[in-house]
Amino acid sequence: MRILLLGASGSIGSQTIDVINKNPQDFTLVGFSVGKRTRCISYILKKHKEVRYIYLIDASKAKQYSKKYPHVNFLSSKDHQLSDLVDLVDFDMAVNALVGFSGLLPSIKVLEKNKKLALANKESLVVAGELINKLLDEGKGELYPIDSEHSALWKCLKVNDQGVKKMILTASGGAFRKLNRSELKDVKAAEALKHPTWKMGAKITIDCATMVNKCFEIIEAGYLYRYPYSKIGVMLHDESYLHSYLSYLDGSFRGEISKPDMRNPIKFALYQGNIPFSTQSFSSLTDLKGLHFHEFDPSRYPLVSLAKLVLLKKGTYGAVLNRANEEAVHAYLKDEIAFLDIERIIFKLMKEHKNVHNPSLDDLIRVDNDVNNKTHLIIEKIKKGEMRW
Ligand SMILES: NC(=O)c1ccc[n+]([C@@H]2O[C@H](COP(=O)([O-])OP(=O)(O)OC[C@H]3O[C@@H](n4cnc5c(N)ncnc54)[C@H](OP(=O)(O)O)[C@@H]3O)[C@@H](O)[C@H]2O)c1
């Protein structure tokens, strides 16, 4: 299968390269994108001789690389959009390992072109779950999740999707899981970046500390598996070994238990679920010796509740949530705002938003731009000490 990899320089991107390297008989890398980090280009090209297109942001670097690798077309942000790769490259499956809103347009284009999409970029579903499901319902493209929780649920549903009471997403609780809310006042980004169980990109690591990530994953599960909000739950789990599970009406449970390693869900998505896997049935979480679980307390992680609004009201709420979070996280990573400002910003903008039902892609882009501007105004006020909550 010919693979187009979007976001090759990132955490999921580099692990996707590992999976392709280990399975050269089944996958051929034909194109990829990086952003600002270009050092992986030579490493990847050394092994993958079929690559003909590469996108990167910096035009002068693209020129330098073109001279070094004349058989490859280097596109840069000066003349191209990242999603142009989807039109130019001859591929069977695109792996979307981009972070944030930048992944949305490529996701939509891949499906519109009736191709397979292995999706790590959960933001695509948060912003445009309705649009993506509409495309799938029209028979456009195929969607395979890469998130570890959703990969686990996919496997469990493959074994038994009858009589499911609830799907439960497990959550590590992030870097600050041992702190109470009053202790969150002064926590810095450098500490938030120390995730207890996973090594990931900076944005998702902060999203884990705020639990926006779990909010996103509830929305993702809702759209992927067409489950209502009321049938999706969260359980805190210290070790990240139980990747998520289903509870059944007969009182039993089924989950996937394995060492946390994103190469497993990446591989499962690349093979479209057609490789051996194992899930475990259990009658109680206490049966899982050595693994620790805690009830999820919504008041400790209030942002998770926004998944309800997004899944019930739909429309443009997901776009607001995503952009407000994306910009607030960037500002927090630069130490411009406090940790708890992230949730203050998101709640304020979600509260002020007038929802647009059945949004088009243009509507979503317009709301994204609008929220981007509003978030920056708030961040400037915070920096000047003028923001009153
Ligand atoms: N990491 C994990 O273990 C994990 C697990 C589950 C789900 N996910 C999801 O997978 C996605 C990727 O996460 P990650 O941790 O791999 O992120 P990451 O390490 O930050 O990598 C993100 C990739 O996107 C590229 N990128 C970002 N903005 C871009 C832009 N404007 N133009 C072009 N390229 C751009 C980056 O390029 P440069 O870095 O070169 O600029 C990089 O290649 C996210 O949606 C995340 O929620 C990640």
Backbone phi and psi for residue 307, each to the nearest 5 degrees, phi listed first: -60, -35
**Are 227 and 160 found together in one domain?**
yes
Rounded alpha-carbon distances, angstroms, from residue 348 to 306, 327, 371: 12, 14, 11
**Are 235 and 162 found together in one domain?**
yes
**Are 124 and 153 found together in one domain?**
no
d(CA 188, CA 332) in angstroms, rounded, equals: 8
Q: pTM higher than 0.85, yes or no?
A: yes
**pLDDT per residue as tens, the chain (389 positions):** 999 999 999 999 999 999 999 999 999 999 999 999 999 999 999 999 999 999 999 999 999 999 999 999 999 999 999 999 999 999 999 999 999 999 999 999 999 999 999 999 999 999 999 999 999 999 999 999 999 999 999 999 999 999 999 999 999 999 999 999 999 999 999 999 988 888 899 999 999 999 999 999 999 999 999 999 999 999 999 999 999 999 999 999 999 999 999 999 999 999 999 999 999 999 999 999 999 999 999 999 999 999 999 999 999 999 999 999 999 999 999 999 999 999 999 999 999 999 999 999 999 999 999 999 999 999 999 999 999 88
**Are 346 and 287 found together in one domain?**
no
Count CB atoms within 10 A of the CB of residue 260: 14
Assess if residue 388 is contained within a domain.
Answer: no
Domain count, the chain: 3
**Are 166 and 131 found together in one domain?**
no
- C-alpha angle 120-126-129 in degrees, rounded to nearest 5: 95
**CA quadruple 41, 42, 48, 54: dihedral, nearest 10:** 30
Domain with 30 in it: 2-145
d(CA 48, CA 383) in angstroms, rounded, equals: 46
**Are 259 and 356 found together in one domain?**
no
Assess if residue 307 is contained within a domain.
Answer: no
Q: Which of 95, 122, 145 is the last residue of a domain?
A: 145
Assess if residue 337 is contained within a domain.
Answer: yes
CATH of the domain at 346: 1.10.1740.10
Nearest CA to ligand 1 atom 5: 147
**Are 99 and 188 found together in one domain?**
no
Q: Enter the tokens of residue 36.
A: 């600002």
**Are 141 and 237 found together in one domain?**
no
Q: What does the DSSP assignment read for 224-290?
A: HH---GGGEEEEEESSS-EEEEEEETTS-EEEEE----THHHHHHHHTTT-S----EEES-GGGSTT
Q: State in Å: Cα 147 to ligand 1 middle.
A: 13
The percent of the chain in helix, strand and coil, each rounded to the nearest 5, is 50, 15, 35
Helix (H, G, I), strand (E, B) or coil at 217: helix
Q: State in Å: Cα 319 to ligand 1 middle.
A: 18
Give, for ligand 1, the residue of 12, 38, 39, 148 to mutate: max count of ligand atoms closer than 8 Å to Cβ. Answer: 12
Give, for ligand 1, the residue of 200, 206, 211 to mutate: max count of ligand atoms closer than 8 Å to Cβ. Answer: 200
d(CA 198, CA 35) in angstroms, rounded, equals: 22
What is the position in ligand 1's atom list of the atom closest to the CA of 262? 3
Backbone phi and psi for residue 39, each to the nearest 5 degrees, phi listed first: -65, -25
Nearest CA to ligand 1 atom 38: 35
**Are 126 and 156 found together in one domain?**
no
Assess if residue 320 is contained within a domain.
Answer: yes
- Which residues have C-beta atoms less than 6 Å from ligand 1? 7, 9-13, 33-37, 57, 82, 97-99, 102, 120-123, 147, 198, 200-201, 203-204, 262
Assess if residue 389 is contained within a domain.
Answer: no
pLDDT value of position 188: 95
Q: Are 171 and 214 in contact (CB under 8 A)?
A: yes
Q: Are 182 and 308 in contact (CB under 8 A)?
A: no
d(CA 240, CA 249) in angstroms, rounded, equals: 25
**Are 70 and 186 found together in one domain?**
no
pLDDT value of position 13: 98
Nearest CA to ligand 1 atom 45: 121
**Are 323 and 275 found together in one domain?**
no
Q: Which of 112, 145, 178 is the last residue of a domain?
A: 145
pLDDT value of position 198: 82
Residue type for position 374: K
Q: Are 234 and 298 in contact (CB under 8 A)?
A: no
Assess if residue 305 is contained within a domain.
Answer: no
Q: Are 378 and 351 in contact (CB under 8 A)?
A: no
pLDDT value of position 197: 85
Comparing C-alpha atoms, which of 275, 271, 357 is closest to residue 318?
357
What is the position in ligand 1's atom list of the atom closest to the CA of 202? 20
Count, residues in the chain: 389
d(CA 362, CA 360) in angstroms, rounded, equals: 5
**Are 288 and 153 found together in one domain?**
yes
- C-alpha angle 172-176-178 in degrees, rounded to nearest 5: 85
Q: Are 281 and 254 in contact (CB under 8 A)?
A: yes
